[in-house]
Amino acid sequence: MAGKNRKPLVAVLDWKTAPSSNSGVDIETKVLGKLANVKYFLTDNKDNFTQEILQAEAIIIWQNAIITEKSISKMANCKALIRNGVGYDSVDINAAARTGIPVCNVPDYGTEEVADHAIALTLALTRQLFSLDAEAKKPGWKLVAKDKLRRTSTLTFGVVGLGRIGTATALRAKALGFNILFYDPYLPSGTEKAIGIKRARSLNGLLKTSDVVSIHCPLNEETHYLIAEQELSLMKPSAYLVNTARGGIIKKKAVLSALHKGVIAGAGLDVIEDEPLKTKTEARTPNLIATCHAAFCSHEGMIEMRTTSARIAKQAVQGKPLENVVNDL
């Protein structure tokens, strides 16, 4: 416990092998003021955090840092584990609940950015931007990609998961002229009428019908490998797959194989199972556009995300009710 003359610690935890932050804690320090000391930590071992981290009263977690039951059981002072982002699959939320530690996230900071990124990947694929760029930089170019260029008003854009980001993406695609179809078994009937789109009653139905399939569901036991060999085989050979959600929703081996074999026409992946790509062979997969888990990024979004995380940490230190608790406490 923090002594009378010692401020509580708020730890900002990042993953050493692939850090997400620039190591600054200026925003967090400004929000917390004199209530706590804020310190940035890099770690490369999910089960061997330093005693200083384990003694923190609140821990803000960047996307690559993994928090397991073994570490959670040693967090004697922790009043909140706060995921700096939407997804919280890197935190064992059930173990935290058993220990009495709330897990919180920031569900609304990157909605616009991720939706924009999904549309950017979609247009890069349907308008063959990278192929055209490469061709235009050759002497005496030829329009070899012309047969692959698509008119959006003739295409069906399938959205898997119609939450905040899925809805924002669907509305953007609709504005561009796509015909929108979504699959989300957890939404009530009539949702489609509220925003003027169509509903698929099964994932398989959406996969068979869509020209673009855009993934926007969380990663959990139900959605792990939601898209694998069987699902990819249902898609049109001319269809594109876009993922700006979580890498583990799509089986990496299956999608790379599908691209090599021409099972689908292309994929735009901001997130990849076991990211980043591990070999030159993976990186050279045909018709693959990959970005480095950057869909959530913008200057404005980062400020919004960090401010919200710091505000929740402040609530924890003050013993106030917490925002955005995702585990059952």
Tokens of 252: 């990496």
What range defines the domain where residue 242 resides?
Answer: 111-290
Kindly report the CATH number assigned to the domain that includes residue 128.
3.40.50.720
> Is pLDDT at 116 greater than 50 in this prediction?
yes
Which residue is catalytic, options 229, 275, 304, 323? 275
Give yes or no for a contact between 293 and 74, defined as CB atoms under 8 angstroms apart: no
CA 264-214-280 angle, to 5 degrees, is: 55
Is 304 one of the catalytic residues?
Answer: no
Our count of domains for the chain comes to 2
Least confident piece of the model among 34-48, 116-130, 151-165, 286-300: 34-48
Is 293 one of the catalytic residues?
Answer: yes
Is 273 one of the catalytic residues?
Answer: no
| Contacts by 261-264, CB closer than 8 A, 24 or more apart | 262/237, 263/232, 263/233, 263/235, 263/237, 264/232, 264/235, 264/236, 264/237, 264/239, 264/240
Residue 212, SS3? strand
pLDDT-derived band at 16, boundaries 50, 70, 90: confident
Which residue is catalytic, options 57, 246, 273, 306? 246
Which residue is catalytic, options 83, 117, 216, 293? 293
Confirm whether 326 is domain-assigned: no
Instruction: Tell me, yes or no, whether 95 and 154 share the same domain.
Output: no
Instruction: Tell me, yes or no, whether 218 and 69 share the same domain.
Output: no
Confirm whether 275 is domain-assigned: yes
- pLDDT, one tens digit per residue, over 129-177 is 999 999 899 888 888 777 889 999 999 999 999 999 999 999 999 999 9
Instruction: Give the DSSP H/E element, type plus range, for residue 117.
Output: helix 111-126
Confirm whether 57 is domain-assigned: yes
